[in-house]
Chain A
């Protein structure tokens, strides 16, 4: 986990340096703010990983001498099939069509999206189809 943290923190530090340089040299606000935000976007997860990396036990994927047996066990939940992503995307499709063709598209749009969110959450609680 340490390498992952370092990648994000080094990227964030570079963006921090760049945003300071650009802010004082460029006298242009939009770009300075955007690079600064990029720095935050690296620092937030990066510092979290760094914090964890000092507290967690070394994972088998970080151990250069690990055997496959060390990774045995449940890796995670991987649902086999689910209709809800498709339903949610259809909802999003109708929502953006409302931006173009009229507000009434929001009805099927939000309807499908809400149905998908409830359905997907319930499916997640059951642990998926497989």
Chain B
């Protein structure tokens, strides 16, 4: 491996100069087709959605602090938990990952000048923004926002039980964001299949890009089902069809089948990108190549494949689903996930770990996701699910999962933020943020597990005066406040570090191609590319004496660094 660059091919400083002479200001934002600006718009919008969803969560927790609190009415409470779930799942977690960071990073990680369909990419963003606005408009209608839970179960979601514009706006908003996701899925797949740089074979792609490929395929398989279901639901509400109503010969449980056939792959559409993020962060801050690269890739694909066969584990208590099939399939997902955990720990093993904020967030992700994952295995067992269904145990389980994703998201922002903006965030405030977030998450979720096991149902605004329930709920609220403080610290950090710490091109001594280009990358991403001979081209270029070895030949001693 020489350290000589191949001839530059994409752009020279000064080339494509005319590309920068386009519109400026708001018109630039409205007309851009640059994946980095679109990705940044996605990231900022989705973080705003996280703050909105988080504010709703804080009101929910405040209401639950005491048994018969009257902070909000019962009807308002229904709107709050519906919109909290909807905003967090539909408008934050997914768009942040596949619209935000993936949009920015996937083309750069594979050495592409842009996404395959730049105008479709812009359309995705605008549909997402308009869909988000549509859904949130429900709060300003006379009847309030949607209030049938984020899953909109029939027959609760029909026009008799839930009349009003809020529910329709929820459906309309989801239609737009659903199409936005599908277009992003098309774009990511085409980009990864067709725009890789010479030498960037599929099995040299960074794990984040691999995870985004599987995510994109899952989006294409799952989201059309949701869109079809929403159209059916709308027809039931307004056009007199009876697809989901018993009175007209329809089947209410069909909605659950359709919803969860989208909904469970959606869990992995949310999780896989964040798996990818921590798989990028951990090797860089352990000063080692990722342990078991191919194992990681195959584990991701196995998770993707199995995720389409587990939907009815959300429906065990309906009594009309095939319990052994869905139980076995759900248990099986633990195997590839376990492989991933093994590999993450294997990557850190005997590495020289640098406890930066991004790395702390990634380690926090491992712990929190493990708690959520293992309780998920409990829930895959029908007898346990029958006991805990619709209790706070389930709420605690998926909040461990999604809060782990928030840790991953924050890790991703601390790790790639400097690449996107050109400036580092303050590490001291970052570490304070981490500890508030990490401890807050555990204080927030662990009492909910106990509450669930003691029988507290989910989606209730008031509960019987019971000393242990009261104490546990208070504790959970304390955790929620700590999470809120961590979000404030993140905002403070952005303000405090604003253009203060220039990052340089490669602040972490990264492995993948995004660390080869400038921070922020130029129009069309690269002035030149290194020779690509492994999954760590930037590392190979910067450390010609220690090139990455072929798969399966990583020697820990050999790879221990340098710094």
Contact = CB atoms under 8 A, between A and B. Distances in A.
A35 interface: yes
Contact of A86 (B126, B213, B532): B126
A30 B254 contact: yes
Interface in A55-86: 60-72, 75-76, 78-86
Contact of A11 (B9, B126, B196, B217): B217
B377 interface: no
A82 to B, nearest CB: 5
Contacts of A75: 10, 112-113, 195
A4 B199 contact: no
Interface residues of A, number: 61
Contacts of A90: 126, 130
B62 to A, nearest CB: 31
B36 to A, nearest CB: 12
Contacts of B6: 67-69
Contacts of B153: none
Interface residues of B, number: 81
B325 A82 contact: no
B221 to A, nearest CB: 5
A85 B169 contact: no
Interface stretch (B67-75, B304-312, B368-376, B417-425): B304-312
Contact of A82 (B122, B168, B172, B304): B122
Contacts of B309: 18, 22, 35
B197 A61 contact: yes
Contact of B197 (A1, A71, A76): A71
B301 interface: yes
A38 interface: yes
A50 B321 CA distance: 37
A9 interface: no
B126 A99 contact: no
B480 interface: no
A129 B16 CA distance: 13
Interface string A36-64: 00100110000001000000000011111
B199 A61 contact: yes
Contact of B201 (A64, A80, A93, A99): A64
B322 A26 contact: yes
B203 to A, nearest CB: 7
Contact of A30 (B130, B198, B257, B533): B257
B32 interface: yes
Nearest to A22: B325
Given A25-B322, A68-B529, A86-B30, A61 B118 contact: no
A93 B308 contact: no
B505 interface: no
Contacts of A101: 165
13 contacts: A7-B213, A18-B309, A64-B204, A79-B119, A80-B34, A83-B30, A88-B126, A89-B123, A89-B126, A89-B127, A99-B172, A99-B238, A100-B169
Given A18-B308, A26-B321, A28-B322, 18 more contacts: A3-B202, A7-B301, A22-B322, A28-B320, A28-B321, A42-B217, A64-B201, A69-B9, A78-B113, A81-B22, A81-B32, A86-B30, A86-B126, A92-B179, A93-B133, A93-B134, A101-B165, A120-B119
Interface of B: 5-10, 16, 18-19, 22-23, 28, 30-34, 112-114, 116, 118-120, 122-123, 125-127, 129-130, 133-134, 165, 168-169, 171-173, 175-176, 179, 193, 195-204, 213, 217, 220-221, 225, 234, 238, 254, 257-258, 261, 301, 304-305, 308-309, 311-312, 320-322, 325, 524, 528-529, 531-533
